[in-house]
């Protein structure tokens, strides 16, 4: 089976790493990797190099990003991505497209595959994130997809509620946890040398992306910066830059301004999967609104301060502390997180074997084209 896997950001690549490995190692599959989005952006660290350094071959690159962080720029980028993916699929002619999540780049890939009558397998559908337009994109991709790999049972039930065939819904867990189970994480001294930093006695990892349904998202980010500015100067702060959603430019300007004023602060466009998870395992708390604070951090026994509504609706481990986007509340939540014992936390997103389940389900598809004609399944109509 010729299977094309789409990766568009540092985040989804980290989640896709082990599915890619399993597909590459299995002779049943002819793996094609398509890189797009921020992977091809110098501003975001040209992270496609990491894919190649990991030993994968990139078969096609879809250029689509513009030097804009406005809604108009995002819409034009979506249009360019649709053109690029349509040309890519026409050239590669895959039997199936595998994609993950809820980015607008993935929406372009799903649209192009749908119009080309190429079946789509979708990882991490069915989740709820009320503070971002990712919510609508994720559900839209679900209706264009034919095989579904949700990360939890509740998400699987939502996919059924959308009329998808229960036989094609496989709850597998988050493949990001496979990376934690399989990888050898870097030790503190090795990580300091690799990053060129010195950890403090207490450290925070901060990642904050635009809340795309919130008109005051830059003000919310300013509240986070204000809270961080009030922390004791001995606390180390490691910032990873936001994604390419509208509003990211203003956040980057605030980060750069804050870095000029704050000692003990480091900023990275991308850490790469191993270094990122290694940092999560070493720091005393993860702060911001990244899904990694909900997906991966609990498995590394690191508490998370989840700010605002970007992740609102996702299931959460006991290690996640939710905070309003107000400086005083954020400070209190950070203090609570630093005192939290996460040694017995159970991660609700699986056991680290998602990739194997995904590959096994795909191998059972003897003729993916048979999936193209979808039927709406009314709740309660499936046989049991």
- Kindly report, residue by residue over 245-261, the tens digit of the pLDDT: 888 889 999 999 999 98
For residue range 85-139, list pLDDT tens digits in order: 999 999 999 999 999 999 899 999 999 999 999 999 999 999 998 888 889 999 9
* pLDDT score of 44: 81
Beta pairing, strands 235-240 & 202-207: parallel
Asked whether the predicted pLDDT for residue 383 surpasses 70, the reply is no
Please list, in sequence order, all residues whose beta carbon lies within 8 angstroms of the beta carbon of residue 321, skipping any fewer than 6 positions away. 303, 304, 305, 306, 333, 336, 337, 340
Contact between 10 and 272 under an 8 Å Cβ cutoff? The reply is: yes
Q: Residue 305: name the closest of 328, 280, 279, 331 by CA.
A: 331
**Would you call 379 helix, strand, or coil by DSSP?**
coil
User: Residue 17 to residues 33, 55, 132, 243, 272: CA-CA distances in angstroms?
Assistant: 11, 11, 25, 19, 11
Tell me yes or no: is domain 2-175+352-371 CATH 3.40.50.620.
Answer: no
For residue range 43-59, list pLDDT tens digits in order: 888 999 999 999 999 99
Q: Residue 54: name the closest of 92, 13, 94, 88 by CA.
A: 13
- Exposure string for 253-275, b = 16+ CB within 10 A, e = fewer: ebbeebeeebebbbebbbbbbbb
User: Residue 192 to residues 234, 271, 312: CA-CA distances in angstroms?
Assistant: 17, 12, 34
Farthest CA pair distance, the chain: 63
| pLDDT confidence tier of residue 384, bands split at 50, 70 and 90 | very low
Domain residues of the chain, as ranges? 2-175+352-371, 185-338
Asked whether the predicted pLDDT for residue 142 surpasses 60, the reply is yes
**Would you call 140 helix, strand, or coil by DSSP?**
helix
**Would you call 32 helix, strand, or coil by DSSP?**
strand
Q: C-alpha 13: how far from its chain's center?
A: 8
CATH topology match: 2-175+352-371 vs 185-338: yes
| End-to-end C-alpha distance for the chain, whole angstroms | 30
* pLDDT score of 263: 87
* pLDDT score of 369: 94
Contact between 31 and 23 under an 8 Å Cβ cutoff? The reply is: yes
* pLDDT score of 67: 79
Asked whether the predicted pLDDT for residue 350 surpasses 80, the reply is yes
For residue range 211-220, list pLDDT tens digits in order: 877 788 889 9
Give the DSSP per-residue string, 212-250: TT-TTHHHHHHHHHHHHHTS-TTEEEEEE---SSTTHHH
| pLDDT confidence tier of residue 382, bands split at 50, 70 and 90 | low
Please list, in sequence order, all residues whose beta carbon lies within 8 angstroms of the beta carbon of residue 194, skipping any fewer than 6 positions away. 186, 275
Mean pLDDT of the chain: 93
Q: How many CB atoms sit inside 10 A of residue 187's CB?
A: 11
Q: Tell me the fold of 185-338.
A: Rossmann fold (3.40.50)
For residue range 273-306, list pLDDT tens digits in order: 899 999 999 999 999 999 999 999 999 999 999 9
Q: Residue 316: name the closest of 339, 286, 356 by CA.
A: 286
Please list, in sequence order, all residues whose beta carbon lies within 8 angstroms of the beta carbon of residue 147, skipping any fewer than 6 positions away. 96, 119, 120, 121, 122, 168, 170, 361, 362, 365, 371
Asked whether the predicted pLDDT for residue 222 surpasses 90, the reply is yes
Tokens at 162, concatenated: 């959308």
Length of the chain: 384
Q: How far apart are CA 307 and CA 326, in angstroms?
A: 9
């Amino acid at each position: 089976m010729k299977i094309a896997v789409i990766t568009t950001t540092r985040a989804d690549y980290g989640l896709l790493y082990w599915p890619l490995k399993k597909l590459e190692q299995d002779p049943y599959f002819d793996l094609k990797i398509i890189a797009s989005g921020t992977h091809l952006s110098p501003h975001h660290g040209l992270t496609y190099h990491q894919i190649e350094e990991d030993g994968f071959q990139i078969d096609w690159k879809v250029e689509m990003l513009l030097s804009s962080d406005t809604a108009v720029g995002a819409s034009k980028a979506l249009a360019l991505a649709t053109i690029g993916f349509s040309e890519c699929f026409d050239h590669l002619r895959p039997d199936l497209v595998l994609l993950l999540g809820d980015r607008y780049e993935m929406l372009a890939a799903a649209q192009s595959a749908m119009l080309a009558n190429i079946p789509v397998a979708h990882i991490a559908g069915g989740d709820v994130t009320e503070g971002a337009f990712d919510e609508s994109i994720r559900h839209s991709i679900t209706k264009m997809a034919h095989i579904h790999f949700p990360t939890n049972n509740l998400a699987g039930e939502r996919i059924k509620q959308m009329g998808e065939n229960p036989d094609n819904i496989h709850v597998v867990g988050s493949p990001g946890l496979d990376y934690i189970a399989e990888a050898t994480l870097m030790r503190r001294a090795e990580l300091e040398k690799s990053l060129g930093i010195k950890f403090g006695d207490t450290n925070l990892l901060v990642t904050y992306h635009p809340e795309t349904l919130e008109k005051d998202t830059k003000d919310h980010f300013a509240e986070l910066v204000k809270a961080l500015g009030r922390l004791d100067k001995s606390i180390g702060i490691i910032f990873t830059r936001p994604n390419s959603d509208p509003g990211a430019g203003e956040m980057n300007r605030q980060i750069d301004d804050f870095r000029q004023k704050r000692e003990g602060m480091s900023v990275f466009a991308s850490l790469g999967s191993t270094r990122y998870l290694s940092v999560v395992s070493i720091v005393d708390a993860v702060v911001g609104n990244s899904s990694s604070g909900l997906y991966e951090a609990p498995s590394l026994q690191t508490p998370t301060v989840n700010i605002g509504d970007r992740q609102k609706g996702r299931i959460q481990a006991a290690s996640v502390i939710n905070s309003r986007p107000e400086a005083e509340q954020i400070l209190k939540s950070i203090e609570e997180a630093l005192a939290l014992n996460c040694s017995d936390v159970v991660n609700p997103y699986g056991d680290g074997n998602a990739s194997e389940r995904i590959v096994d389900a795909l191998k059972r598809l003897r003729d993916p084209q048979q999936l193209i004609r979808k039927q709406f399944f009314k709740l309660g109509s499936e046989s049991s």
